[in-house]
Structure 1
Amino acid sequence: MTRVLHVLDHSLPLHSGYTFRTRAILKAQEAMGLDVRGVTGQRHAAQSPSDPEVVDGLTFYRTPGEAGGLPLVREWSEVSALADRIVALASEWRPDVLHAHSPALCGLAAVKAGRRLGIPVVYEIRAFWEDAAVGNGTGREGSAKYWLTRVLENDVVSGADRVVTICEGLRADLIARGFAPEKISIMPNGVDFEMFGDPLPRDHALAAELGLGEGPVIGFLGSFYPYEGLDDMIAAMPAIVAAVPDARLLLVGGGPAEAALRTQAESSPVADAIRFVGRVPHHEVDRYYSLVDVVCYPRKGMRLTELVTPLKPLEAMAQGKLVGASDVGGHRELIAHGQTGTLFPADDPAGLAAAMAGLLGSRAEWPARREVARSFVREHHDWALNVRRYLAVYQALLPSLDLPSVAA
């Protein structure tokens, strides 16, 4: 049986979009007949009861210690510790392929270990982390750290045997940097239909508790980062309520922008139509999804959102929800306007309001649009099917591997 070791920044039991994508990949690969395990670097900030640690039936190895020291020295120490852990692990559990996932530090460790072991390395980019830092407000485009992160990313792409990105935007950017197109494959975000395939009926008790009435309800469930554009959503609410008086906005989650958003909402002339819930346990998210008619993603226009496709709209479609989203590149790659969702101009509250009012006013079209979107996700973004794209990548590196049929 082919063995694949995934090299990770962090993993379950921590909850994040990163760990949920990892879980989906590993579970789907296991179901396909591969033997998979994960190893995390020193940034996995969770106390592990054992090493290896089994979480949700998946096995993860940990890298001991905590990197310290001056910048650059600290990061290189992390890379070296993770590379050493991979090499030590390989003497016990002999992987056929090292499959590293961004950030670049994980990729550097995998490339370093792969060369020592003579094992091919696949590097998977989920986002360019220098752009993610700008979007999260922790970095500045054009700064020394921004360019250093990009240089490290380029080094990993050069050193890896094959590269996988989650979308065409990232792949095209790498090709524009001079990397060979045939080296770079796409593994799009997907949905685990065992988790998202059976939406709950509307939780009327929860709706009453939150004072939502009968709606319609526009919702956002996720992290409140500035680039998500939730300030534009709040700014659009007066015009939406003027067109659809019973409309409500439900915001579930938290993050760096939360305080500013709450202040903005409190001063809105339709403050009573806006509900903040805060963060909720992961197992309760479905209850809040059940309240929402339209899930809205008003992302700002910037490099991060233009290049990267988000996972959340796919999950919403799988839940049978209508989707509205700004027309940034990452959304356009996922959403066909008027078919699988509604696109509106980015950074434009008036345009957002007009689009949402039009969508809310066309209830007769909702059932057909929900079904089209759900069918799109099932046909093109089901992890159980998409994960087979990895087989061609692994097979190209090691033709003698005993892999399941790529065409199966």
Structure 2
Amino acid sequence: MRTLVVTNDFPPRQGGIQTFVAALLARRPPGSLVVLASRSPGWQAHDAALPYEVVRHPTGMLLPTPGVARGAAGLARRHGCDTAFFGAAAPLGLLAPALRDAGVRHLVGATHGHETGWVALPGARQLMRRIATGLDVLTYISDYTRDRLAPALGGVTRMAQLSPGVDVDRFTPDADGAAVRARHGLGGAPVVACVSRLVPRKGQDVLVAAWPRVLARHPDARLLLVGGGPLEDRLRREVAARGLERSVVLTGPVPPEQLPEHYAAGDVFAMPCRTRRGGLDVEGLGMVYLEAAACGRPVVAGTSGGAPETVREGVTGHVVGDPRSPEAVAAVLTGLLDDPQRARRMGTAGRAWVEQRWSWTTIAGTFAALLHPDG
């Protein structure tokens, strides 16, 4: 049985969906896959190292055009594909009728979070219903996204959870943050780390606003903001305006392979995410919380979207009830810094939970069952 994967989101282009799709495919038998993807810089060298065939459409964006439909159908016929997987169902799921005509019997499409905004808008909602109608299974990443999608889709297809997973061999309590601490002059200070793009939804601005309250109780503490993004200049100005240059570090972007050591440099992980734009800007799940937990760190999350699903409240960390409130965020952070033993216990519990529920081994089994429900 062979699966045709149709995706615009595929390495070497970087992003969460790209990482998700590549990790799923890495755990499938190589001979069972053929991939149709768009081009991005470095694709030739990347594809040459893969154990399965990748066909690149000669554009930087894969869309459900007649030409792409013909190409996808031709691949399905040539390789005898009986299943198909759309790395992002919207809009490529519109290719489903062409693939059924080519002999594909079972079609699965993934959603990732942004689709919750689609179903809030009348025109996009109708398009999502049309896409879902053509699929045998539409996946969702969290209970939050399911609850937003299901009413709009009205039972037109089966829905099943397929969340991203964590590489528990890469994100591990054995990760060493010493070099990161040395690079940024953190020494042995208690460190709160946030690893994420610097955008308003993630809440780094609230962390900075909360930080003077944390310093009032823990004057040696440091805040490590890891990542780049459009909010960076504003955050640097805010840090300077509050006189926090000695205690707040912005690293800028870091390579993906260095993320474990940046999680490990913190004693507590915090990202008080919040929903914005009337629900159109929302956290679908929040893999950073699970990666931090896999590294043995207690996590502090916000209430946006599926983020609370990544935390076992009071066991692996805390969800701040009002993530827009610097006072509320500071209270949770100081509580964890006050009791390092409790924080370490939460980190240990978080690691165990990720291994049990969120490892790629578990997720890969779910993916296999969705592709081949009859075994």
1:35 matched to 2:35: no
Equivalent residue letter for 1:29: R
1:314 matched to 2:290: yes
Secondary structure in 2 matching 1:313: helix
- Once residues 246 and 213 of structure 1 are traced to their aligned partners in structure 2, the CA distance between those partners, rounded to angstroms, is 10
- Once residues 125 and 236 of structure 1 are traced to their aligned partners in structure 2, the CA distance between those partners, rounded to angstroms, is 34
> What are the residue-to-residue correspondences of 1:281-292 with 2, within 5 Å?
281-292=255-266
Kept in 1, the 8 Å contact 2:132–2:156? The answer is: no
Moved over 6 A (4+): none
Secondary structure in 2 matching 1:387: helix
**How far is 1:331 from its partner?**
1.8
Kept in 1, the 8 Å contact 2:37–2:54? The answer is: yes
- Once residues 214 and 66 of structure 1 are traced to their aligned partners in structure 2, the CA distance between those partners, rounded to angstroms, is 46
> What are the residue-to-residue correspondences of 1:126-165 with 2, within 5 Å?
126-129=112-115, 131=117, 147-165=122-140
Secondary structure in 2 matching 1:223: coil
In structure 1, the residue matched to 2:85 is 99
Kept in 2, the 8 Å contact 1:38–1:60? The answer is: yes
Secondary structure in 2 matching 1:194: coil
Secondary structure in 1 matching 2:225: strand
- Once residues 376 and 18 of structure 1 are traced to their aligned partners in structure 2, the CA distance between those partners, rounded to angstroms, is 23
Kept in 2, the 8 Å contact 1:169–1:306? The answer is: no
Equivalent residue letter for 1:14: R
**How far is 1:89 from its partner?**
1.6
Secondary structure in 1 matching 2:324: coil
Q: Which of 41, 59, 79 is 1:46 aligned to? A: 41
**How far is 1:304 from its partner?**
5.4
- Once residues 305 and 91 of structure 2 are traced to their aligned partners in structure 1, the CA distance between those partners, rounded to angstroms, is 27
1:388 matched to 2:365: yes
Q: Which of 347, 360, 364 is 1:370 aligned to? A: 347
Secondary structure in 2 matching 1:276: strand
**How far is 1:100 from its partner?**
0.5
The TM-score, its normalising length taken from structure 2, stands at 0.90
Equivalent residue letter for 1:278: G
Q: Which moved more, 1:275-284 or 1:385-394?
A: 385-394
- Once residues 36 and 289 of structure 2 are traced to their aligned partners in structure 1, the CA distance between those partners, rounded to angstroms, is 29
The TM-score, its normalising length taken from structure 1, stands at 0.83
Kept in 1, the 8 Å contact 2:9–2:88? The answer is: no
Q: Which of 143, 150, 153 is 1:175 aligned to? A: 150
Q: CA 1:181–1:85 in structure 2 vs 1: closer, same or farther (change >3 Å)?
A: closer
Kept in 2, the 8 Å contact 1:124–1:165? The answer is: yes
**How far is 1:370 from its partner?**
1.3
Secondary structure in 2 matching 1:83: helix
Kept in 1, the 8 Å contact 2:165–2:358? The answer is: yes
Q: Which sections of structure 2, spanning at least 5 residues, go unmatched?
A: none
**How far is 1:386 from its partner?**
2.3
In structure 2, the residue matched to 1:342 is 318
> What are the residue-to-residue correspondences of 1:222-237 with 2, within 5 Å?
222-237=196-211
Q: CA 1:212–1:129 in structure 2 vs 1: closer, same or farther (change >3 Å)?
A: same
1:114 matched to 2:99: yes
- Once residues 28 and 334 of structure 2 are traced to their aligned partners in structure 1, the CA distance between those partners, rounded to angstroms, is 42
Deviations 1:165-214 (A, max 9, x none): 111112222221243287111112211223223632331x4423312131
Kept in 1, the 8 Å contact 2:116–2:148? The answer is: no
Deviations 1:294-314 (A, max 9, x none): 111111134357672121111
Secondary structure in 1 matching 2:259: helix
- Once residues 315 and 123 of structure 1 are traced to their aligned partners in structure 2, the CA distance between those partners, rounded to angstroms, is 25
Secondary structure in 2 matching 1:29: coil
**How far is 1:66 from its partner?**
5.7
**How far is 1:327 from its partner?**
2.7
Kept in 1, the 8 Å contact 2:274–2:302? The answer is: yes
Q: CA 1:234–1:55 in structure 2 vs 1: closer, same or farther (change >3 Å)?
A: farther
In structure 1, the residue matched to 2:13 is 14
Kept in 1, the 8 Å contact 2:228–2:252? The answer is: yes
Secondary structure in 1 matching 2:130: helix
- Once residues 288 and 237 of structure 1 are traced to their aligned partners in structure 2, the CA distance between those partners, rounded to angstroms, is 19
Secondary structure in 1 matching 2:48: strand
In structure 1, the residue matched to 2:299 is 323
Q: Which of 84, 87, 92 is 2:70 aligned to? A: 84
**How far is 1:378 from its partner?**
0.6
Kept in 2, the 8 Å contact 1:10–1:45? The answer is: no
> What are the residue-to-residue correspondences of 1:352-363 with 2, within 5 Å?
352-363=329-340
- Once residues 335 and 206 of structure 1 are traced to their aligned partners in structure 2, the CA distance between those partners, rounded to angstroms, is 26
- Once residues 369 and 335 of structure 2 are traced to their aligned partners in structure 1, the CA distance between those partners, rounded to angstroms, is 44
**How far is 1:54 from its partner?**
3.4
Q: Which of 273, 290, 293 is 2:247 aligned to? A: 273
- Once residues 123 and 165 of structure 1 are traced to their aligned partners in structure 2, the CA distance between those partners, rounded to angstroms, is 9
Identity of aligned pairs, percent?
Answer: 25
Q: CA 1:383–1:305 in structure 2 vs 1: closer, same or farther (change >3 Å)?
A: farther
How many residue pairs get matched?
371
Q: CA 1:237–1:66 in structure 2 vs 1: closer, same or farther (change >3 Å)?
A: closer
**How far is 1:349 from its partner?**
1.2
1:261 matched to 2:247: no
- Once residues 318 and 337 of structure 1 are traced to their aligned partners in structure 2, the CA distance between those partners, rounded to angstroms, is 16
Q: CA 1:26–1:227 in structure 2 vs 1: closer, same or farther (change >3 Å)?
A: same
Secondary structure in 2 matching 1:126: coil
Q: CA 1:305–1:246 in structure 2 vs 1: closer, same or farther (change >3 Å)?
A: farther
Equivalent residue letter for 1:360: L
- Once residues 258 and 59 of structure 2 are traced to their aligned partners in structure 1, the CA distance between those partners, rounded to angstroms, is 34
- Once residues 183 and 370 of structure 2 are traced to their aligned partners in structure 1, the CA distance between those partners, rounded to angstroms, is 50
> What are the residue-to-residue correspondences of 1:229-248 with 2, within 5 Å?
229-248=203-222
The CA RMSD measured in Å over matched residues stands at: 2.6
